């Protein structure tokens, strides 16, 4: 099986460098909290005031689909788990699978047949065989769960050939590629959804629900991250070990920000009333992979030729257009228990993850945490109540099922998807922007406005039911 990524990418295109070079100059505008932008809304939550004269816009949607005909590209650990979820959903036909590992392709095709569905057509003769699949098959949706460097080529091939696209995280690794996704989705009128499953985890949805009800007051600050000891996985001779470690040889950045930042972006109405304005970033020295290799990799193994440049702990700070602040870490090379931090703080209280706890002024004992369980019965997100039973046993504690359920429902009913191409671009942009900031003395790097101003009038996400 060949999973060697293509040659290193031009991570910062000249156009991006010009934009980033202007970041410092743009700071005055970015850092000034627009006077009068906030006004009290129901439940004490601030609302974005519509810009005078601007027509309120609806979020992008597409005509409803009776049945979603889907093709999967990359059916490894995560892609296979999505296939399993799709086989449980109504109104879905899995028409094609494309994986360069023929044994895995056949195995997953067997699951489709075992579910009593027609046999999917198989692709994957070469690493770009997904193009032939997109040109040949009649599909509504192409879903990629490949290594990161393939996400954008697959999404573009899908949309150029008339399908919606869904991609595992992050959607893109460069600003240039973020723009390509936005531009092609707009030109073709297609969805390009970044599948951030942590948006659907129970604590994250509880916090979203509580924030919408105003329990935390006006949300001002959040802390999140991807803090996961991946050393053993990165050095395996299978699955993610075949491609993930390579990124640590190429970039020193916060390049997997989506699990922590996705849920925070939802709570803060990013692209729906607020927007990421700029970030600053710094990385610690790089030691973890080198020390793991010393102990676990025999002399003479080709892995000894690799040079790791990824700082073990990257810390980035984002400021939003409305002046809110977000702390985002990436920490995958050191011994540690798992955490996405998941802290959301407002004028009346806060939630703090790992372990999950809550403080709400006037409700919690003064200055003391309460356990999340004290709030779950009253404030559990309705979607979790609706889908708890059917999602049991699905990937990552069931949240992956909720994520796939929502995607299919939105496509079948012609609704805007929960995450759209602008969210995919803005959240993925943390990777290249943090890389630039780290390499430039932690200078501020401005986020492009992928929405071209529409974030000011797009409506907030609803608290949805099944």
Ligand X SMILES: NC(=O)c1ccc[n+]([C@@H]2O[C@H](COP(=O)([O-])OP(=O)(O)OC[C@H]3O[C@@H](n4cnc5c(N)ncnc54)[C@H](O)[C@@H]3O)[C@@H](O)[C@H]2O)c1
- At residue 207's C-alpha, the angle toward residues 204 and 210, to 5°, is 150
Considering the complex, state which of residue 140 and residue 168 has its C-beta at the smaller distance from ligand X.
168
Q: Which residues pair with residue 93 across a beta bridge?
A: 69
Binding residues for ligand X restricted to 175-194, rule: CB under 6 A: none
Q: Which of 46, 71, 120, 147 binds ligand X (CB under 6 A)?
A: 147
Contact between 104 and ligand X per CB under 6 A: yes
Contact between 124 and ligand X by CB under 6 A: the answer reads yes
Residue 322 engages ligand X in binding (rule: CB under 6 A): no
Q: How far is the CB of 93 from ligand X (least distance, A)?
A: 20
Minimum distance of ligand X from residue 257's CB (angstroms): 12
Restricted to residues 57-76, the positions that interact with ligand X (CB under 6 A) are 73-76
Regarding 100 and contact with ligand X (CB under 6 A), the answer is yes
Residue 33 makes CB contacts below 8 A (sequence gap 6+) with 322, 323
With binding defined as CB under 6 A, does residue 85 bind ligand X? no
Taking the chain, what is the end-to-end CA distance rounded to the nearest angstrom?
Answer: 40
How many whole angstroms from its chain centre is CA 208?
A: 16
430 binds ligand X (CB under 6 A): no
Phi-psi label, residue 273: left if phi above 0, alpha if psi -120 to 50, beta otherwise: left
State the number of CA atoms in the 13 A half-sphere of 190 facing the CB.
26
Q: Is 327 helix (H, G, I), strand (E, B) or coil?
A: strand
| Chain-centre distance for alpha carbon 70 | 21
Question: Does 130 participate in binding ligand X (rule CB under 6 A)?
Answer: yes
Question: Site residues for ligand X, window 390-419 (CB under 6 A)?
Answer: 396
227 binds ligand X (CB under 6 A): no
User: What are 15's two structure tokens?
Assistant: 């156009």
Helix intervals (H) in 334-442:
373-379, 382-391, 399-413, 421-428, 430-439
3 sits near ligand X (criterion: CB under 6 A) = yes
Q: From the list 94, 98, 181, 207, which residue makes contact with ligand X (rule: CB under 6 A)?
A: 98
Nearest approach in angstroms of CB 396 to ligand X is 5
Contact with ligand X (CB under 6 A) among 60, 78, 217, 220:
78
How many residues sit close enough to ligand X to count as binding (CB under 6 A)?
28
Question: For residues 239 and 449, which CB has a smaller minimum distance to ligand X in the complex?
Answer: 239
The reply on whether position 261 binds ligand X by CB under 6 A is no
Who contacts 38 (Cβ-Cβ below 8 Å, separation ≥6)?
46, 47, 48, 49, 218, 322
Q: Does 448 bind ligand X (CB under 6 A)?
A: no
Nearer to ligand X by Cβ, of 100 and 139: the residue is 100
Nearer to ligand X, 78 or 420 (CB): 78
146 binds ligand X (CB under 6 A): yes
Strand 219-227 with 276-283, pairing: unpaired
Q: Is 150 in the site for ligand X (CB under 6 A)?
A: yes
Sign of CA dihedral 265, 280, 350, 312: positive
The least distance separating ligand X from the CB of residue 143, rounded to whole angstroms, comes to: 11
Task: Give the nearest residue (CB) to ligand X.
Answer: 76
Question: What are phi and psi for residue 142, nearest 5 degrees?
Answer: -115, 130
Q: Quick one: tokens of 309?
A: 């440049």
Contacting positions for ligand X (CB under 6 A) = 1, 3, 73-79, 98-101, 104, 124, 127, 130, 145-148, 150, 168-169, 197, 239-240, 396
């Amino acid at each position: 099986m060949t999973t060697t990524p293509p040659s290193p990418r031009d991570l910062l295109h000249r156009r991006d460098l010009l934009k980033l070079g202007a970041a410092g100059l743009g700071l005055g505008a970015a850092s000034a909290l627009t006077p009068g932008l906030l006004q009290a809304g129901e439940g004490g939550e601030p609302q974005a005031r519509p810009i005078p004269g601007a027509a309120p816009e609806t979020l992008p949607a597409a005509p409803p689909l009776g049945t979603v005909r889907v093709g999967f590209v990359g059916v490894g650990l995560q892609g296979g788990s999505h296939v399993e979820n799709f086989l449980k959903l109504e109104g879905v036909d899995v028409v094609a699978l494309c994986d360069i590992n023929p044994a895995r392709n056949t195995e997953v095709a067997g699951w489709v047949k075992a579910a009593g569905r027609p046999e999917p057509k198989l692709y994957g003769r070469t690493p770009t065989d997904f193009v032939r699949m997109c040109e040949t098959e009649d599909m509504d949706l192409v879903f990629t769960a490949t290594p990161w460097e393939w996400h954008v080529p697959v999404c573009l091939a899908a949309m150029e050939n008339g399908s919606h696209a869904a991609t595992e995280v992050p959607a893109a690794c460069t600003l240039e590629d973020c723009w390509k996704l936005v531009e092609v989705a707009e030109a073709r009128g297609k969805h390009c959804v970044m599948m951030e499953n942590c948006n659907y985890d129970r604590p994250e949805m509880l916090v979203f629900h509580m924030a919408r009800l105003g329990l935390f007051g006006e949300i001002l600050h959040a802390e999140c991250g991807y803090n996961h000891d991946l050393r053993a996985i990165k050095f395996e001779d299978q699955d993610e070990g075949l491609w993930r470690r390579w990124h640590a040889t190429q970039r020193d950045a916060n390049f997997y920000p989506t699990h922590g930042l996705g849920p925070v972006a939802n709570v803060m109405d990013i692209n729906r009333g607020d927007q990421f304005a700029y970030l600053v970033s710094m990385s610690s020295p790089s030691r973890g992979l080198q020390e793991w290799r010393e102990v676990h990799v025999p002399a003479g193994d080709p892995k000894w030729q690799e040079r790791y440049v990824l700082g073990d702990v990257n810390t980035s700070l984002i400021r939003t257009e409305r002046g809110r602040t977000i702390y985002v870490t990436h920490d995958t090379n050191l011994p540690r228990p798992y955490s996405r931090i998941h802290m959301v703080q407002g004028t009346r209280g806060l939630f703090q993850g790992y372990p999950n706890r809550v403080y709400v002024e006037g409700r919690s004992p003064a200055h003391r945490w309460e356990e999340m369980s004290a709030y779950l019965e009253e404030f559990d997100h309705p979607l979790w109540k609706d889908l708890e039973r059917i999602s049991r046993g699905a990937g990552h504690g069931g949240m992956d099922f909720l994520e796939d359920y929502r995607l299919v429902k939105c496509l079948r009913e012609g609704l805007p998807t929960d995450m759209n191409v602008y969210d995919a671009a803005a959240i993925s942009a943390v990777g290249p922007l943090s890389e630039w900031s780290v390499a430039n003395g932690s200078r501020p790097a401005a986020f492009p406005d992928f929405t071209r101003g529409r974030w000011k009038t797009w409506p907030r996400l609803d608290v949805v039911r099944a």
